[in-house]
């Protein structure tokens, strides 16, 4: 029986290459459900990804897609949006792709408030490239480059996005599927740079090394450590240890990059774009 969301996937590119129990498929399906919720056409929606396990998603999704270079999805997406502002442009990236290799592109995309929806699949590690520590690997967690535990302090990508100028910032987890879909759909609604951190389990490169049990155990860990924003705000500091907030963490209004650019064109005498 064909299910409604299957029209959004390239059936001839399936099955996917992700490991059994990987959370990337959950986040990918949340994206198409959010697109479906918005009623966006596949012909008017572009998916752009970088490099890594998460970025393989663009190959499976039946939209106009671009699988770009490591860390470079946001500049490619910015070019697409400026060339044709009528397109809906979604970026899929991973924690390493977005906050390490593409870190500068990320902060400047936020600063410019480009009308993009960036979904960062955060599995706390470089999966595809060999299990190295990424900027979101927790302090003390093991990786192939940190066999005795990482000593680097961890980026909070949501705080980084907010500080850099993103106008919609949210976090959800692979355990909270409907919530994740809603957070992405709200990001699609925002006219400006939207950043959604989708926490996903990587049982192979992160879970195994850190003895986190089965994929189901990793999902339960998310269930037990995520705290909705309203409850988080009331949580005393000492009870926040090893927990993290989820939900819409920040939103604001600001002119988006394309509209600002139009104003420049007008000031310059109304030349064609
Ligand atoms: Fe998923 Fe991790 Fe396997 Fe990559 S290495 S496909 S993130 S489980």
Which of 16, 20, 24, 131 has the most ligand 1 atoms within 8 A of CB, as the residue to mutate?
24
Q: Does any ligand 1 atom lie closer than 6 A to the CB of residue 215? A: no
Q: In whole angstroms, what is the distance from residue 116 CA to residue 77 CA?
A: 7
- Ligand 1: atom nearest CA of 123 is 7
- Flag whether 3 is in a domain: no
Collect all residues with Cβ–Cβ distance below 8 Å to 254 and sequence separation of at least 6.
113, 165, 167, 192
Q: Give the strands of the sheet with 226-228, arranged side by side.
A: 64-67, 45-49, 88-94, 117-122, 194-199, 168-173, 244-251, 226-228
Q: In whole angstroms, what is the distance from residue 243 CA to residue 179 CA?
A: 18
If you search the block for the tokens 């970088």, which residue do you land on? 50
- Flag whether 2 is in a domain: no
Q: Does any ligand 1 atom lie closer than 6 A to the CB of residue 57? A: no
- Flag whether 17 is in a domain: yes
- Flag whether 110 is in a domain: yes
Instruction: For residue range 55-83, list pLDDT tens digits in order.
Output: 999 999 999 999 999 999 999 999 999 99
Measure 96 CA to ligand 1 centroid, in angstroms: 13
Measure 135 CA to ligand 1 centroid, in angstroms: 17
Which of 53, 60, 121 has the most ligand 1 atoms within 8 A of CB, as the residue to mutate?
53
Q: Does any ligand 1 atom lie closer than 6 A to the CB of residue 18? A: yes
Read off the pTM.
0.96
Domain count of the fold of the chain: 1
Predicted local distance difference test score (pLDDT) of residue 253:
96
Domain span at residue 241? 8-271
- Ligand 1: atom nearest CA of 94 is 7
Which of 94, 123, 198, 206 has the most ligand 1 atoms within 8 A of CB, as the residue to mutate?
123
Kindly report the CATH number assigned to the domain that includes residue 204: 3.40.50.970
Q: Does any ligand 1 atom lie closer than 6 A to the CB of residue 227? A: no
**Tens-level pLDDT at each residue, the chain (273 residues):** 556 788 999 999 999 999 999 999 999 999 999 999 999 999 999 999 999 999 999 999 999 999 999 999 999 999 999 999 999 999 999 999 999 999 999 999 999 999 999 999 999 999 999 999 999 999 999 999 999 999 999 999 999 999 999 999 999 999 999 999 999 999 999 999 999 999 999 999 999 999 999 999 999 999 999 999 999 999 999 999 889 999 999 999 999 999 999 999 999 997 655
- Flag whether 1 is in a domain: no
Q: Does any ligand 1 atom lie closer than 6 A to the CB of residue 212? A: no
* CB environment 81-101: b (16+ within 10 A), e (fewer): beeebebbbbbbbbbbbbbbb
Instruction: For residue range 223-269, list pLDDT tens digits in order.
Output: 999 999 999 999 999 999 889 999 999 999 999 999 999 999 999 99
């Amino acid at each position: 029986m064909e299910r409604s969301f299957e029209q959004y996937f390239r059936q001839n590119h399936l099955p996917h290459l992700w490991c059994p129990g990987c959370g990337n498929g959950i986040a990918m399906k949340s994206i198409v459900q959010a697109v479906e919720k918005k009623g966006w056409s596949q012909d008017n929606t572009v998916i752009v990804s970088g490099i890594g396990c998460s970025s393989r998603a663009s190959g499976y999704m039946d939209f106009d897609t671009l699988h770009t270079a490591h860390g470079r999805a946001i500049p490619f997406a910015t070019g697409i949006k400026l060339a044709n502002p009528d397109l809906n442009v979604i970026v899929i990236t991973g924690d390493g792709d977005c906050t390490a290799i593409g870190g500068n592109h990320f902060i400047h995309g936020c600063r410019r408030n480009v009308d993009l929806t960036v979904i960062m699949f955060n599995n706390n590690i470089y999966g595809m490239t060999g299990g190295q520590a990424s900027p979101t690997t927790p302090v003390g967690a093991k990786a192939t480059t940190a066999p005795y535990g990482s000593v680097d302090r961890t980026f909070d990508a949501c705080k980084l996005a907010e500080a850099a100028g993103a106008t919609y910032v949210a976090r959800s987890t692979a355990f909270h599927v409907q919530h994740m879909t809603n957070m992405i759909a709200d990001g699609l609604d925002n006219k400006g740079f939207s950043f959604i951190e989708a926490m996903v389990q990587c049982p192979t490169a992160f879970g195994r090394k850190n003895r986190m049990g089965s994929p189901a155990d990793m999902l339960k860990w998310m269930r037990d450590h995520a705290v909705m924003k309203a409850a988080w705000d009331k949580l005393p500091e000492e009870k926040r240890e090893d927990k993290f907030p989820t939900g819409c963490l920040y939103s604001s209004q600001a002119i988006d990059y394309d509209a600002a650019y139009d104003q420049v064109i007008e000031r310059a005498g109304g030349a064609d774009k």
